[in-house]
């Protein structure tokens, strides 16, 4: 690694450490922490890797927001190092460095590397797999196929979208004349077999739970209907999260990858095209028909982004400066909003990062003053996860019509007849009587959350006596 790259990596790391040190955890991070307290072969929302990583890092660094954020930073740093080294195998070093910087300072990747998500972990395994297979094709060494199978399997234990990579690899082998012979050899199939074997705990869990997770991702979470406005919202989100200049140039790069890959028979360029463009097209097309989150196609942009400096040499310097300035501006705006909410947003998601320690302390104080042994209850997984992390206690969550991981751990019969402390707040306000049957419900406390001198949220704590069950 060059001194320039090490310097940029240090800047990236220190910037994230500065952000991570002073913020609480996101709702999803709290959710994954709860998973880590319920070890399983897999979970309803995702495979088990993120829960395992949370368990490891909190076991070493303690049950703190920093420990969970640091896990995300750890994998993001590995991702950037791998991406740079792989890029150097394909492009001249200056272009490899610029391509890596475009990715690393893209708002989606920069901000995503400051928190722990399955995508932060997957980024490492995704690039590692692509790099191993690239080396297998370039050096004609079987060992890289086997290493890629292990890497892809671990990626599949992180998130289902990892299976795009084997599909893309086989498509590339079919359309690349000089590599089509691999389809008659055992190595690609051993690669696929290793991936499935390592992924098998997820299959076992799903088989024992009515294939619930597969059904959720393939069907139940999607409402299919054509919507032009949803597509436009998705495109705007991509322009912001990738950065406007990089997003436009990435699509131009996809066209150049296609043209050069097929007309010039450049297999490296063709490899980047097959392992990137189809994923972006798939999610872009899907946005016409169903809700598509902005980060879902993220890894599909990698092939286009890292190739930009090589493909567009004429205006590279100007484009690079403008893109970097815009990316930095978006990152700064978002970071300032996290620490000082200067933009008034209805139901601002950055509010989720604050107030939970105080809420947890007051909930436990009230619990200790009550005569019985109350269980903690919420109506949404976000609130239940944050409350569980803040108190270190088990929290029960039942959401009629909406399945979460909580329903796989808890049954109504466990708490029938007991008293509860129920927490909700103004962003997701749901009074307990709307969901749960109790003999008596009393609002015992309102806890306001202030940021930048104004009240942005109110928490409501109820004492609920004699749990009778969940309303149908």
pLDDT in tens, 340-381: 888 888 778 899 999 999 999 999 999 999 887 889 999 999
Helix, strand, coil % in the chain, rounded to nearest 5: 65, 10, 25
Angle of helix 356-369 versus helix 381-391 axis, rounded to 10: 70
What per-residue confidence (pLDDT) applies to 86? 97
Q: By the 8 A CB rule, do 420 and 470 touch?
A: no
Under the phi-then-psi rule, with left for phi > 0, alpha for psi from -120 to 50, and beta for the rest, what region is 91? beta
Buried b (16+ CB within 10 A) or exposed e, 411-422: eeeebeebbbbb
Q: Which stretches of the chain drop beneath a pLDDT of 50?
A: none
What per-residue confidence (pLDDT) applies to 315? 66
Q: What is the C-alpha separation between 297 and 300, in angstroms, rounded?
A: 5
**What are the Cα distances from residue 44, in Å, to 31, 49, 202, 381, 410?**
12, 13, 10, 12, 14
**What are the Cα distances from residue 168, in Å, to 162, 163, 285, 291?**
10, 9, 18, 24
What per-residue confidence (pLDDT) applies to 314? 63
Of 344, 306, 406, 367, the C-alpha closest to 96 is 306
What per-residue confidence (pLDDT) applies to 89? 96
Sign of torsion over alpha carbons 436, 438, 443, 447: negative
**What are the Cα distances from residue 322, in Å, to 188, 243, 267, 315, 325?**
42, 10, 31, 11, 5
Residue 396 tokens, joined:
């029960």
What per-residue confidence (pLDDT) applies to 402? 85
Q: What is the C-alpha separation between 381 and 387, in angstroms, rounded?
A: 10
Does this model's pTM top 0.75?
A: yes
Under the phi-then-psi rule, with left for phi > 0, alpha for psi from -120 to 50, and beta for the rest, what region is 395? beta
The kind and range of the H/E element at 463 are strand 454-470
Q: By the 8 A CB rule, do 72 and 59 touch?
A: no
Q: What is the C-alpha separation between 267 and 260, in angstroms, rounded?
A: 9
What per-residue confidence (pLDDT) applies to 21? 81
Q: What is the C-alpha separation between 111 and 129, in angstroms, rounded?
A: 23
What per-residue confidence (pLDDT) applies to 313? 76
What per-residue confidence (pLDDT) applies to 458? 96
What per-residue confidence (pLDDT) applies to 222? 66
Where do the structural domains in the chain lie, given as residue ranges? Answer: 3-339, 350-470
Q: By the 8 A CB rule, do 12 and 52 touch?
A: no
């Amino acid at each position: 690694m060059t001194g320039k790259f090490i310097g940029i990596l240090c800047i990236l790391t220190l910037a994230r450490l500065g952000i991570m040190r002073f913020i609480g955890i996101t709702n999803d991070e709290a959710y994954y922490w709860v998973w880590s307290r319920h070890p399983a072969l897999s979970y309803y929302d995702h495979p088990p890797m993120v829960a395992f990583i949370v368990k490891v890092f909190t076991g070493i660094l303690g049950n703190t927001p920093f420990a969970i954020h640091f896990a995300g930073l750890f994998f993001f740093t590995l991702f950037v190092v791998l991406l740079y080294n792989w890029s150097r195998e394909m492009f001249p070093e200056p272009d490899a460095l610029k391509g890596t910087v475009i990715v690393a300072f893209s708002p989606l990747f920069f901000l995503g590397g400051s928190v722990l998500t399955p995508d932060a972990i997957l980024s490492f395994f995704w690039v590692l797999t692509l790099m191993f297979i690239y080396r297998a094709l370039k050096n004609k060494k079987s060992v890289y196929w086997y290493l890629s199978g292990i890497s892809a399997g671990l990626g599949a234990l992180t998130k289902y979208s990892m299976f795009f990579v084997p599909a893309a690899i086989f498509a590339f082998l079919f359309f690349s004349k000089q590599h089509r012979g691999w389809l008659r050899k055992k190595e690609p199939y051993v690669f696929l077999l290793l991936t499935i074997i390592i992924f098998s705990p997820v299959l076992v869990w799903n088989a024992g739970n009515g294939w619930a997770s597969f059904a959720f991702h393939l069907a139940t979470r999607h409402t299919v209907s054509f919507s032009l406005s949803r597509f436009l919202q998705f495109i705007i989100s991509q322009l912001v999260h990738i950065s406007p200049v990089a997003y436009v140039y990435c699509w131009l790069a996809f066209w150049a990858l296609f043209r050069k890959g097929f007309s010039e028979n450049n297999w490296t360029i063709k490899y980047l095209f097959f392992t990137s463009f189809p994923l972006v097209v798939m999610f872009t097309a899907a946005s016409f028909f169903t809700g598509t989150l902005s980060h879902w196609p993220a890894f599909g942009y990698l092939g286009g982004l890292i190739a930009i400096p090589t493909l567009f040499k004429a205006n590279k310097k100007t484009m690079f400066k403008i893109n970097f300035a815009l990316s930095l501006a978006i990152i700064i705006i978002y970071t300032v909003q996290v620490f000082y909410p200067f933009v008034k947003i209805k139901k601002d998601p950055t509010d989720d990062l604050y107030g939970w320690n105080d809420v947890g302390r007051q909930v436990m104080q009230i619990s200790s003053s009550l005569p019985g042994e109350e269980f903690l209850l919420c109506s949404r997984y976000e609130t239940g996860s944050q409350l569980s992390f803040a108190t270190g206690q088990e929290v029960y969550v039942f959401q009629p019509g909406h399945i979460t991981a909580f329903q796989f751990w808890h049954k109504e019969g466990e708490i029938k007849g007991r008293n509860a402390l129920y927490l909700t707040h103004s962003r997701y306000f749901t009074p307990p009587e709307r969901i749960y049957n109790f003999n008596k419900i009393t609002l015992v406390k309102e806890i306001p959350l202030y940021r930048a001198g104004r009240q942005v949220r109110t928490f409501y704590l109820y004492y609920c006596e004699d749990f009778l069950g969940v309303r149908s």
